[in-house]
């Protein structure tokens, strides 16, 4: 059973790796933006042969880090 669990985990990881082009398309960014982040080391990648694959979890986290959530008022203060 442990072998099957490992196989499932590997498949899950693989499905969350995408090419720069597919990652940009899926997340709604330009290929140039994603390539720039890759070149500057702001998003982790895995090289498989000649292909560079992006960890989508890392890319999503990078995008969310840039979102301004101050309007949510998470500190419990109320606007009156």
CATH number, residue 52: 1.10.10
Tell me the β-bridge partners of 54: 18, 45
E strand spans, the chain: 17-19, 45-48, 51-55
Whether residue 77 is contained in a domain is answered as: no
For 60, the token pair is 């999503």
pLDDT at residue 70, rounded to an integer: 76
Residue 61 or 6, more confident: 61
Q: Is residue 16 within 8 Å of 55, Cβ to Cβ?
A: yes
Please check the confidence at residue 79 and state whether its pLDDT lies above 60: no
For 71, the token pair is 């309007």
**pLDDT tens digits along 23-78:** 999 999 999 999 999 999 988 888 888 988 998 888 888 888 887 777 777 666 65
Instruction: Give me the domain span that covers residue 46.
Output: 15-65
pLDDT at residue 78, rounded to an integer: 58
Please check the confidence at residue 8 and state whether its pLDDT lies above 80: no
Whether residue 6 is contained in a domain is answered as: no
Distances (CA, A) of 55 to 30, 59, 71: 16, 6, 29
Looking at the structure of the chain, the number of domains it has is 1
């Amino acid at each position: 059973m442990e072998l099957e669990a490992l196989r499932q985990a590997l498949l899950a990881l693989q499905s969350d790796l995408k090419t720069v082009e597919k990652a940009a398309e899926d997340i709604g960014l330009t290929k140039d933006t994603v390539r720039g982040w890759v070149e500057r080391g702001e998003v982790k990648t895995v090289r498989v042969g000649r292909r560079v694959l992006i960890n989508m979890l890392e890319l999503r986290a990078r995008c969310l880090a840039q979102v301004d959530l101050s309007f949510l008022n998470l500190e419990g203060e109320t606007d009156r």
